[in-house]
Amino acid sequence: MGRIRTIKPEYFRHLEIFEAEEETGLPLRVAYAALWTVADREGRFKWIPRQLKIDCLPYDDVCFSRVLHALATRGFIQKYVQNGKEYGLIPTFKDHQVINNREAESKIPKPNDFSDLTREPRVDDACTTRAVRKGREGKGKELNKTLCPADAERGKIDQPDPPPVQEKIPKPDPVTENAKSAIDHLNGLTHRNFRHSKASLKNAKARLSEGFSLGNLKLVVEHKCIEWGKDPRMRNYLRPQTLFSEKFESYLQTAIEWRNVGRPHNVISFGGRIHQHQKLSAVEQNSLQCAQLAEQFEREAAELERQESQGQCAGYAIMGENG
């Protein structure tokens, strides 16, 4: 239960506690005056921050441990321990309060001369800096400018610069790294410079996500460089978007067969099989020649059709000019 206490007009002009309130951003003036009503006739009170907050600042969203610490580090109150219990004392309480004779005697033990000086800082308080206890009420002096870290976080008190925070380097994505390696392998064989762009990486990452290995991707690159490298038209398809497209699995099967026959440089692929001229039987040579002739006839027929189409267009143009 709070007690009736006296507050002097000069208190509202108390410069030191006002500056302390500005530095910490805490309602120290109200809290300090409220502690007078909590303290007994000797100016002593139990150091229980949660309970003291209910009596002093019931509606403020503030940690009262920080309030007590801010007042203690500036000498407005003292903290001491007796019989394993923590208590607080307002040193100049009797200098400014007129105590009613009917008020009950203090039941809180008084501090010994060295009880608070040997006190270890509590880790569960808002701050652990020991206060310098000196001064009278209304004339408190800031004798210790190195205050608690909680106050320093508010940017009110000069503190040494904290050590630089080491930037966390994200762990590389193995799928992306393997896709980049496949593109680098293609660049090395073709002497091109495909970048690690989103478009270039897209298909390679998709194949790796499907379970194909980096070795599979490199094998397809190597085989297609041999198969398409000498053909000016097909050489344009030696690019990530084509090599690692949805046709990749069929490319891989052909590349595996190519690898199994010793990675020959003189290869022809047809019918899903890899052939090397010197290793074909007579029947296979016949089939190969037939396939080659069929391909040649198709190319010649297409070229003839293209020429005829161009000739017809030219004839229509001449007729149009002659009216």
Are residues 27 and 57 in contact, defined by beta-carbon separation less than 8 angstroms? yes
Encoded amino acid at 232, one letter: P
Confidence of residue 171 (pLDDT cuts 50, 70, 90): confident
Average of per-residue pLDDT across 223-232: 84
- pLDDT tens digits for 140-161? 444 344 444 444 444 444 456 6
Gap between the Cα atoms of 256 and 276, Å rounded: 14
Strands 268-270 and 273-275: antiparallel
Q: Is the pTM above the cut of 0.85?
A: no
Tell me the backbone φ, ψ of residue 48, rounded to 5 degrees: -125, 90
Q: CA-based diameter of the chain, in Å?
A: 134
β-strand pairing of 268-270 with 85-89: unpaired
Given a contact cutoff of 8 angstroms between Cβ atoms, the answer to whether 145 and 157 are in contact is yes
Tell me: the pLDDT tens digits for 85-97? 999 999 989 888 8
Half-sphere exposure of 66 (CA within 13 A, CB side): 19
Find the range with the poorest average confidence among 214-218, 235-239, 309-313.
309-313
